[in-house]
Amino acid sequence: MSEDDRPGKFDERLMCFAVKLIYDYETKEGILIMDEGNSVHMPGVIQVFTQIDNDVKRINTFAEDKQDTFYMKNSKGAWDSYYVKSK
């Protein structure tokens, strides 16, 4: 499959093919949906969502319809990453 045939667009900051970005200002949560088989660059996804809202608390990433990882800001203000095991 060529790059032109893939869903979404390759984003240099995220280092993946991003299909959709969603941010909820009430819950302070972001969602990144990527093309199947992609994984995201952690510093890049955090940068993208903190530029939307510096108070973001959680970022969920999905490779197509399967959750891949999530990142949460801890009490010290640093980001922790969690891998979600596929079923």
Q: State yes or no: pLDDT of 81 exceeds 90.
A: yes
Instruction: List, in order, residues 6 or more apart from 62 with CB less than 8 Å away.
Output: 31, 32, 33, 34, 68
Structure tokens at 45: 């996804």
Where do the domains of the chain lie?
A: 3-78
Q: What's the average model confidence in pLDDT over 46-73?
A: 96
Q: What's the average model confidence in pLDDT over 8-25?
A: 96
Q: What is the rounded average pLDDT for all residues in the chain?
A: 92
